[in-house]
Structure 1
Amino acid sequence: MIKVLSLLMLCMCIKADNGKCEEVTSTCAVVTCGTHSSSGLPGRDGRDGKEGPNGEKGDKGLQGSRGIQGPPGKIGPPGVKGEMGSVGEKGDPGRSASSEVEVVKGQVKALEGQLHLLQENFNKYNKILLFHGGKKSGEKIVVTNGQEETFENAQKTCREAGGKLATPKNAAENIAVQEILQTKGDTAKSYLGISDIQVEGIFKYLGGEKISFTNWNLGEPNNSKDKEDCVEIQDNGKWNDIPCSLLRLVICEF
């Protein structure tokens, strides 16, 4: 009995540090006296205690994910107006469409003048060639320097003069070469710009084309002694194949 009363008193008053008692009856369970019985109902939760002291500062946590970009800020004030730059140099005056046409006309007129001058010089050159014994046939002029050369040297002489060995491509041109030979004597002969050096029996012009006109002597070409690869024209206008090493009168065409 005494023990039961003591327990009731303990539940009614708990001595605090300041010597006062605080009622805690609402936190104590009801104790029944009497014989031992089964356990009673659980009591209610007690009041929260006093706030304890702050704990120690914890370690820095992991960096969180980047947040959503915020809205744009307000437009800033306008910048200060810069100083005006220095004035540039004055450009060339432009040309109108009509002035461009006039320039082109002037250039065309100048070219026409140059062309006319070239034509005059060409005609004068032709007259000089004819004056010195040259012969004209169509657009060609044939002339001799009076020297005798081998086939190779005769080619070189004509090439350096701006022409090439006489190469008749029709009867009129052949006669023009013949007339020059007749002024040099009965035995005068000249190389033509024709040979079968590349392929035996196939005579071609120096440019490589097959010949389109011939005036062979009877029985020619015969390639005598298998050494006749070049062609000469005689004072009678007939052709004959001969060795390329013989000396013949140089006649060039321009």
Structure 2
Amino acid sequence: MNMVKILTLLFFGISTNAITTTSTDNGKCEEFTNTCAVISCGSQRSAGLPGRDGRDGKEGPKGEKGDKGQQGHRGSQGPPGKIGPPGAKGDKGSIGQKGEQGVSATSEVDTVREQMKVFERELHLLQASLNKYNKILLFHGGKQAGDKVFVTNGFEENFENAQKTCKEAGGNLATPRNAAENSATQEILHTKGESSKSFLGISDAQVEGIFKYLTGEKMTFTNWNLGEPNNSKDNEDCVEIQDNGKWNDIPCNLLRLVICEF
């Protein structure tokens, strides 16, 4: 009868969740927790053949939620995600401090105009000083003709030295370019007495018979004596002005009164 029950349990696949032991002393069966519905009791018998694999039973009820485990180590950083949509437009910021005022083109023009006014004032002062200087020269025997002032140092020198003296003073040898300038030079000769003569800034040293100003320019005014220039003895490359205002060609090594123009 017991074997029939065992075979019946194996046939229907009912697995037991309890352990059953048989006592040899009193032949009773002791039951532990969760025993099956059918318990066989009796004397110990030999083990039967292994039963067929049973089928899983129904899933039991869900157990209670366990305690929270310890936090694990931080994993490696994953790849960057896609760029999200643009955020909402922020509030307008506060107004910054006002910058320095720039210089406009009009201001630059005004600056240039002011500089020109200063330059003109300085030029007028310079002109006034020059006029004052000219008056001083005239007071000491100088003669003015147009924009030129003619003066003498009272010494006689040859052509080369006379020219050097005038250059060092910031002027040139007297070079009349019109009748007024020629008369001013003549008047200075009169202050030194009769028969006074002076070199002019004119020469034909480069090309014989072609007189030019020392600057290399062609002459625009002449006042030669009758029969002059004649290049007497082929040695007259320089020009003198006589007390009568007439010109004459003479050797350059003679001594004549130094008259400079400024």
Normalising TM by the smaller chain, what interval?
0.5 to 0.7
1:240 to 2:243 alignment: no
Using a 3 Å threshold, how does the CA distance of structure 1 residues 99 and 177 change in structure 2: closer, same or farther? same
Alpha-carbon distance in 2 for matches of 1:194, 1:160: 18
Corresponding position of 2:137: 129
Superposed, 1:50-199 pairs within 5 Å as: 94-199=102-207
Alignment partner of 1:103: what SS? helix
Which AA in structure 2 matches 1:169? R
Corresponding position of 2:220: 212
Which AA in structure 1 matches 2:152? T
1:251 to 2:255 alignment: no
Alignment partner of 2:257: what SS? strand
| Aligned-pair CA distance for 1:127 | 0.8
Query: For residues 94-152 of structure 1, what are the alpha-carbon distances to aligned partners after superposition, in whole Å with 9 as ceiling and x for unaligned?
Result: 22445434423321221121111111111111111111111111121111111111101
| Aligned-pair CA distance for 1:206 | 0.6
Alignment partner of 1:115: what SS? helix
Query: For residues 4-26 of structure 1, what are the alpha-carbon distances to aligned partners after superposition, in whole Å with 9 as ceiling and x for unaligned?
Result: xxxxxxxxxxxxxxxxxxxxxxx
Which AA in structure 2 matches 1:116? H
| Aligned-pair CA distance for 1:169 | 1.4
- Structure 2 unmatched runs, 5+: 1-79, 85-98
Alpha-carbon distance in 2 for matches of 1:172, 1:109: 35
Alignment partner of 2:224: what SS? coil
TM-score by length of structure 2 reads 0.60
Across the two proteins, how many residue pairs are aligned to each other?
A: 171
Alpha-carbon distance in 1 for matches of 2:167, 2:134: 17
Corresponding position of 2:43: none
Corresponding position of 1:13: none
Larger radius of gyration: 2
Corresponding position of 1:53: none
Using a 3 Å threshold, how does the CA distance of structure 1 residues 104 and 164 change in structure 2: closer, same or farther? same
Alignment partner of 2:194: what SS? coil
Using a 3 Å threshold, how does the CA distance of structure 1 residues 76 and 192 change in structure 2: closer, same or farther? farther
Which AA in structure 2 matches 1:193? G
Using a 3 Å threshold, how does the CA distance of structure 1 residues 97 and 216 change in structure 2: closer, same or farther? closer
Alignment partner of 1:216: what SS? coil
Using a 3 Å threshold, how does the CA distance of structure 1 residues 75 and 171 change in structure 2: closer, same or farther? farther
Identical columns (%): 74
Query: Among residues 235, 253, 262, which one is paired with 1:227 in the alignment?
Result: 235
